[in-house]
Structure 1
Amino acid sequence: MRNPILPGFHPDPSVCRVGEDYYLVCSSFEYFPGVPVFHSRDLESWRQIGNALDRPSQLPLPPETPASGGIYAPTIRHHGGRFWIITTNTSGGGNFIVSATNPAGPWSEPVWIDLPGIDPDLAWDDDGTCWCTVSGTQVARIDPVAGKILDGPFPAWAGTGLQYPEAPHLYRIGDWWYLMIAEGGTERGHTVAIARARTPLGPYEPAPGNPVLTHRSTNRPVQSTGHADLVSTPGGDWWMVLLATRPKGNTPGFHVLGRETFLTRVHWLDGWPSVDPVVESGFFEGETRDDFDATTLAPQWISPRWRPDDSWSLTARPGWLTLHATGSTLDEPGCTFIGRRQEQHTMRVTARLDPGDGCAGLTVRLDEAHHYDLEVDGGQARVIARIGPLRQVVASRPVPPGPVDLVVASRPSESTGPDTLSFSAGDGPVLAELDGRYLSTEVATGFTGRVIGMYVTRGSAAFDSYDQTGIELSV
């Protein structure tokens, strides 16, 4: 089995099964479109089929939305012939529900629900009663169509006493209601705990073996295991999807890809889940190439906060992605940027750029204050490092006019950091090599991971292709 099943910045997974098909969603934070939707037939190989929030009316993210703001922790469920997603816009509006008959979309406009808390969950009783559970942990009876609270919220189970009881999921399994939560914070102390009751409102009995999953204080390469969801197969086997990280480098370890989605097996013993340790396995080839020959952008392309229709085009120059500047710097919100999640620790990204009269390039982004840029402007290729309050042009050299290949590569560090990022333009030598630790959550803080993308900060520029390829060196 290949694990993680969704490498790169894919945190807070939630999964449901309909027949022999599985559907999974993840948090998207400040990126648009939001809430990526994936499909699988085997729980191991996943394909993104869309984004649940692909219209500005569904995803209002104002310019002041901070990095790691926006959309937190969606839950996906299937009931009554419809798919339902409930999630939280932490940058405006709070909790809301969207629904669809086809998980690939289109999804409905948001139905807002005046229920405090984050990480909302939906569960239905046999009589059709819908229960919504939020971090805290509070349970309310709701009308998901109207977005109304019918009863509650009521306190349920507060967990085992660790900090931040969150990510609740409520399940009816046999004669019991199980309430599974995450505790201990989403860092190295992350855990999964569970309790059960005869009704959704309790009283809840904690599992005698809590936490049922944690890798805290171990030397396992997979850490921060938590924020999990359960799913059963048509044959009656049980599995858990969860987020976890793969720290690299010397202490404290740096996770640069963000929190990723992993899979592990669940066994039931005496009415309680017993969860296997989470193992990293297999090499995720993850070759991603786009020649921009389609009429629409693939669903994997994301942009911070919004993507104005007049900022990009696939038709202005057929076979090319043309970008038009909407902001003058990557250091502030509002810049034209279209990127994809970095999915491998050891990888190479090549983008063919025709800069025209613009200032454009390829960037490795964590947030506005932490990014490395390789850009072409006025016949010069340069590498720029933005680390916190510091911004520096690291290297530059002339490049000939016309299209040029921009290359960003990552390889294991030979010193203490998680990796080394190298930057080159055209046929020339490597322009610069930079320490990858400064583009990590441990340095920048936050909840996301690296996104590598194309940008323009002046005029217009066009990209003929984008290729991200994993290199099997670090496995």
Structure 2
Amino acid sequence: MEFLNPVLPGCYPDPTVCRVGRDYYLATSSFEYFPGVPLFHSRNLVDWEPIGYALTRDEQLSVRDASASEGIFAPTLRHRDGTFYLVTTNVGGDGHFVVTADDPRGEWSDPTWIDAPGFDPDLFWDGDDAYLTYAHDSVVEQTTVDVETGETDERRTLWTGTEGDFTEAPHLYAVDGSYYLVLAEGGTHTGHMVVVARADAPTGPFRENPENPVLSHRAEIHHPIQATGHADFVRAHDGTWWAICLGVRQHGDHPGYHHLGRETFLAPVRWEDGWPVVNGDDPLGRLVRRSDTALEATGGRSWTATRDAFADDGLGVEWNYRRNPHRDRYAVQDGTLVLRGGPETLDEKRPTFVGRRQQQFDCQAETRLDFDPSGDEEAGFTVGIDEEHHFDLAVTERTGDRIALTRLRIGDATETIATTTLGAGPVTLAVEADRHEYRFAAVADGRRRSMGSARSKYLSTEVAGGFTGVFIGLYATGNGSPAETPARFRSFRYRPAGE
């Protein structure tokens, strides 16, 4: 089998995977975005289909007050006796919880809350005993847990780390009579790595793999893929073993930057002398070949493109809100997405916004907008990573004229870099991106106007901080007051232009 990494491009970090027969299911973190925990299905670990979210109801997930990069941290997805279990942490909220489903494509249960500290929880069953293993204060702790009630037993320290630095992301497995603890260390940036320990019981004591780390690019400072770590292992139905992990595609002059977020990568695993060897001990590249597997994949990624005419059955699975939405501000009707702007702007926590991940460096996006604003009302396109780092292409009103403007928010600085007066009628707003910049345009009155450009570096994690990546979205605001004029988006298209 031959395939390209990442297998899930865009902001899909902290992946977790489980197999049920010949079917594979994968989940990732979602942080402050809603719905929470995107879910995917595959038959070969390479070609993934988005199938929905685990947390779709306000009763399941409250991230209303979450700061940027708080909310839903690394989940673990497992299957046992016909039930899917997903355990995760609402950081900045109420902590660990479990939700369950008979079918991951359907509705998931309300949360069962677990009384334990920390984040990055893992669920593992040994007979009838269920173990919750999690990161806390840079060590890994463990307790038994009743998954029906959330009740836990005495906590114990399971692992203090090989280097004592950001020990997190534990996953526990039983393989050939031994128990393996797979962890991340070194922080979720260029020092990230995967380490492994082994024991005769799920409670330890665990002995370190003498060949640790089993995966890391921390010594490969010029490699275009960085931050490899946070792995989950799975045995495929053909008997081969695989690791999914996160990584980033870094670019630019040293030390480089990344703005698409932490993405999901796939690597082959083999076992030698009772220890896993990831990718043959070689750095993980874009192109991966494996000859000893019966799995076959196309590498098709049609799901990463969007052509949305806003059918009346609602928004597609690619769309996300920033935190729990004010639902009365959003409607899909008569082939139109209608946004009614609230007082919040994109600089605040719960704007009227709906967006999708940027998944390729080279891409194009455009929308057709009907909007005749008055006063401080505005609506349009935004490209951003958080409240303090976003580029906006907006339609608004100034001194009686309808105009389009391009505005950049970078940290404490905000600047309007382009304006143009518009006539009556619909406006097409467009953005074209490559690795290094975004270029904006507005099309109205039969004319295309260039609306300036901005460097992608200023939407990167290295500038903005945090754990997410760029989203391209649509928004509306009254800039301090509820907007009276609805913004009507007639269409939206996101198209990869090549990688």
Q: Shorter-chain-normalised TM-score: which range?
A: over 0.9
Match in the other structure for 1:262 = 265
| Aligned with residue 161 of structure 1, among 157, 160, 163 | 163
What displacement does 1:99 show? 0.5
RMSD of aligned Cα (Å): 1.3
- Give the letter for the 1:21 counterpart: D
- Give the letter for the 1:340 counterpart: R
Structure 1 residue 186 corresponds to structure 2 residue 209: no
**Matched residues in 2 for 1:274 and 1:251: separation?**
29
What displacement does 1:92 show? 1.1
What displacement does 1:91 show? 1.8
What SS does structure 2 have at the residue aligned with 1:152? coil
**Matched residues in 2 for 1:469 and 1:324: separation?**
26
> Bigger shift: 336-345 or 398-407?
398-407
Structure 1 residue 444 corresponds to structure 2 residue 461: no
What displacement does 1:311 show? 1.1
- Give the letter for the 1:422 counterpart: R
For structure 1, which runs of at least 5 residues remain unmatched after alignment?
413-418
- Per-residue CA deviations over 1:48-68 (Å, capped at 9, x if unaligned) read 1111011111111133x2100
Structure 1 residue 361 corresponds to structure 2 residue 406: no
**Matched residues in 1 for 2:161 and 2:354: separation?**
40
**Residues 28-177 of structure 1: pairs in structure 2 closer than 5 A:** 28-63=30-65, 65-125=66-126, 127-135=127-135, 136-149=139-152, 151-177=153-179
Contact 2:64 2:349 in 1 (8 A): no
What SS does structure 2 have at the residue aligned with 1:438? helix
Match in the other structure for 1:372 = 391
Contact 1:30 1:68 in 2 (8 A): yes
**Matched residues in 1 for 2:301 and 2:35: separation?**
24
What displacement does 1:338 show? 0.1
**Residues 434-473 of structure 1: pairs in structure 2 closer than 5 A:** 434-458=454-478, 459=483, 460-472=486-498
What displacement does 1:109 show? 0.4
Contact 2:194 2:216 in 1 (8 A): yes
Q: TM-score, normalised by structure 1?
A: 0.95
Contact 1:2 1:283 in 2 (8 A): no
**Matched residues in 2 for 1:7 and 1:344: separation?**
7
What SS does structure 2 have at the residue aligned with 1:437? helix
**Matched residues in 1 for 2:344 and 2:112: separation?**
36
- Give the letter for the 2:364 counterpart: R
- Give the letter for the 1:246 counterpart: R
**Matched residues in 2 for 1:400 and 1:197: separation?**
71
| Aligned with residue 363 of structure 2, among 347, 357, 373 | 347
- Give the letter for the 1:331 counterpart: D
- Give the letter for the 1:388 counterpart: G
Q: TM-score, normalised by structure 2?
A: 0.91
Contact 1:157 1:204 in 2 (8 A): yes
**Matched residues in 2 for 1:211 and 1:162: separation?**
14
Contact 1:284 1:344 in 2 (8 A): no
Match in the other structure for 1:387 = 410
- Give the letter for the 2:415 counterpart: Q
What SS does structure 2 have at the residue aligned with 1:137? strand
**Residues 308-327 of structure 1: pairs in structure 2 closer than 5 A:** 308-315=326-333, 318-327=334-343
- Per-residue CA deviations over 1:26-81 (Å, capped at 9, x if unaligned) read 00000111000111111111111111011111111133x21001110011000121
Match in the other structure for 1:416 = none
For structure 2, which runs of at least 5 residues remain unmatched after alignment?
288-298
What displacement does 1:404 show? 1.4
Structure 1 residue ranges, 4+ long, deviating more than 6 angstroms after superposition: none
Question: Percent identity of the aligned residues?
Answer: 45
Q: 1:294 to 1:177 in 2, by over 3 A?
A: farther
- Give the letter for the 1:454 counterpart: L
What displacement does 1:399 show? 2.1
What SS does structure 1 have at the residue aligned with 2:328? helix
Structure 1 residue 296 corresponds to structure 2 residue 297: no
- Give the letter for the 1:438 counterpart: Y
Match in the other structure for 1:398 = 421
**Matched residues in 1 for 2:224 and 2:125: separation?**
37
**Matched residues in 2 for 1:37 and 1:118: separation?**
20
Contact 1:385 1:392 in 2 (8 A): yes
Contact 1:139 1:200 in 2 (8 A): no
> Bigger shift: 23-32 or 395-404?
395-404
What SS does structure 2 have at the residue aligned with 1:331? coil
Match in the other structure for 2:296 = none
- Give the letter for the 2:389 counterpart: H
- Give the letter for the 1:98 counterpart: V
How many matched pairs? 462
- Give the letter for the 1:11 counterpart: P
- Give the letter for the 2:133 counterpart: T
Match in the other structure for 1:422 = 439
What displacement does 1:205 show? 1.2
Contact 1:407 1:425 in 2 (8 A): yes
- Give the letter for the 1:265 counterpart: P
Match in the other structure for 1:214 = 216
**Matched residues in 2 for 1:101 and 1:309: separation?**
28
- Give the letter for the 1:391 counterpart: T
Contact 1:361 1:456 in 2 (8 A): yes
What displacement does 1:400 show? 2.5
What displacement does 1:294 show? 3.8
- Give the letter for the 1:360 counterpart: A
What SS does structure 2 have at the residue aligned with 1:432? strand
- Give the letter for the 1:275 counterpart: V
- Give the letter for the 2:79 counterpart: H
